[in-house]
Amino acid sequence: MSTYALDPRTTVLIGSITSGLMAMVLTLLARATPLPVPGLRTWVAGAWLVFAGMLLLGLRDWISHLATVTLGNAAFVLAYIVWLAGTRRHFGERLRWGPWLLAWLAMVAAVTWFAYGQPSYRMRLVVVAGLCCFISVHHALLLLRYPQAERFGRALGITLTTSWLAVLTTVYAARGVHAALFPQGDSGLLTQDAIQIVYTGSFTVCNLLLVIGFATMASDHVRARIEEQAIRDPLTGTLNRQALLECLGRERANHGRTGQPFCVAMLDVDHFKKINDSHGHPVGDRVLVHLCRRMAALVRPHDVVARYGGEEFVVVMPHTRLPEAALVAERILVEAVQADGLALPAFTVSIGLAEWSTGDATEQDVIARADAALYQAKARGRNRLERAALRLVNA
């Protein structure tokens, strides 16, 4: 009679059921997600491989040895390689499959040999635990390379996944070393002893927690993309009007606290309708995209470029007074319209510039003054810069 409440077969079979459920949850997550998550499908495939591997391992002695020992271990270890590929893909990299598949094939061959040629659970354990340990440590080190500070969800997902990979590495290392150093008697994966119960229980739990870790990373990825889409103009990738107003609100508050000046440049493409009419809207779109790229390259790192609407853009220049802002605006006027070798029609822009003044009550006021200066620039012949006079209190 068993001296333990759990036996390894029960642990592995419960593990296979829960990993099947996790695989299902991950599959549904991949189907339901409103935006594609790189690597998620690969993780789904890995989760199903874990389910298959654990189920086969748990059916030992009930179905053919080939299915349980060879295929079970093959599916199980392949899952770790597939998860590694999924993580790489998530971070925009590709796994070099060749060496990993070679190692996996060698493992499958060795396991088969130590199951039929020269049966030895001890050697199978050394081979399988050794490779799983190597994959897990490689996977954990890979995750540590990615920056995680800026978003809580991402940091949490990476930390969870890395932590469970570290635990998994320890489990496989400990089991592999124990098998290498000590005779394992008549042991098999499902033998009823404390070591096997702890071993099978540990990798079962870690596999589930790994899936939760990646799911956390995936959901944070979706949230970040949605937040990004909410503040970006889809055509040019610059901030949209809503984000611009928030940025101006911050600058206004900062000015209230510290007295730091800031300027707003409003920019409009001259005769843009003609460009659309003569060359078509797609070319007009390319002009806008090109202009934004050039502006982003010409302004300073802390300046903000936003699309105000149509072919109108705003540049916010923090910590800047009107004369310095005029230098930046002049640079944009001359250099942002250059499109040598890009097969774009020639175009010019007009700019109206205003500095936040004590007479401005809201961010809309400073925008309105920049807009009025832009109107003047248009009226005075376009392709030029006009500055709004400061509006001082009681002026």
Residues that bind ligand GTP (CB under 6 A): 235, 268-273, 276, 281, 284-285, 288, 310-311, 378, 382
Nearer to ligand GTP, 122 or 378 (CB): 378
Q: Closest distance between ligand GTP and the C-beta of residue 330, in Å?
A: 19
**Other beta carbons less than 10 A from residue 338's beta carbon:** 12
Q: Closest distance between ligand GTP and the C-beta of residue 317, in Å?
A: 22
Nearer to ligand GTP, 165 or 288 (CB): 288
Nearer to ligand GTP, 311 or 360 (CB): 311
Q: Closest distance between ligand GTP and the C-beta of residue 276, in Å?
A: 5
The single residue listed with the structure tokens 């005769």 is 271
Nearer to ligand GTP, 269 or 304 (CB): 269
Q: Closest distance between ligand GTP and the C-beta of residue 278, in Å?
A: 11
Output the residue with the shortest Cβ distance to ligand GTP: 284
> Which amino acid, 9?
R
The single residue listed with the structure tokens 């499902």 is 190
Nearer to ligand GTP, 157 or 284 (CB): 284
Nearer to ligand GTP, 220 or 233 (CB): 233
**Three-class SS of residue 168?**
helix
The single residue listed with the structure tokens 């916010």 is 316
Nearer to ligand GTP, 342 or 393 (CB): 342
Q: Both tokens of residue 130?
A: 């050794």
Q: Closest distance between ligand GTP and the C-beta of residue 304, in Å?
A: 20
Return all residues near 147 (Cβ < 8 A) that are at least 6 apart.
Answer: none
What are the φ and ψ backbone dihedral angles of 55, each rounded to 5 degrees? Answer: -65, -45
Q: Closest distance between ligand GTP and the C-beta of residue 344, in Å?
A: 12
Buried/exposed 25-43: b ≥16 CB within 10 Å, e otherwise:
ebbebbeeeeeebbbbbbb
DSSP string, 96-147: -HHHHHHHHHHHHHHHHIIIIIS--HHHHHHHHHHHHHHHHHHHHHHHHTS-
317 forms beta bridges with 263
Q: Both tokens of residue 311?
A: 């072919």
Question: Mutual orientation of helices 363-379 and 241-258 as an angle, nearest 10°?
Answer: 110
Q: Closest distance between ligand GTP and the C-beta of residue 270, in Å?
A: 4
304 forms beta bridges with 316
Cβ atoms of 338 and 371 within 8 Å: the answer is: no
Nearer to ligand GTP, 196 or 236 (CB): 236
Q: Is the Cα torsion angle 119, 121, 123, 127 positive or negative in sign?
A: positive
Q: Closest distance between ligand GTP and the C-beta of residue 305, in Å?
A: 15
State the Cα–Cα distance between residues 282 and 276, nearest whole angstrom: 8
Nearer to ligand GTP, 268 or 363 (CB): 268
Q: Closest distance between ligand GTP and the C-beta of residue 271, in Å?
A: 5
Residue 87's closest CA among 35, 171, 164, 172?
Answer: 164
Residue 10's closest CA among 205, 207, 201, 260?
Answer: 201
State the Cα–Cα distance between residues 112 and 128, nearest whole angstrom: 11
Residue 353's closest CA among 261, 290, 272, 236?
Answer: 261
Nearer to ligand GTP, 187 or 276 (CB): 276
Q: Closest distance between ligand GTP and the C-beta of residue 277, in Å?
A: 8
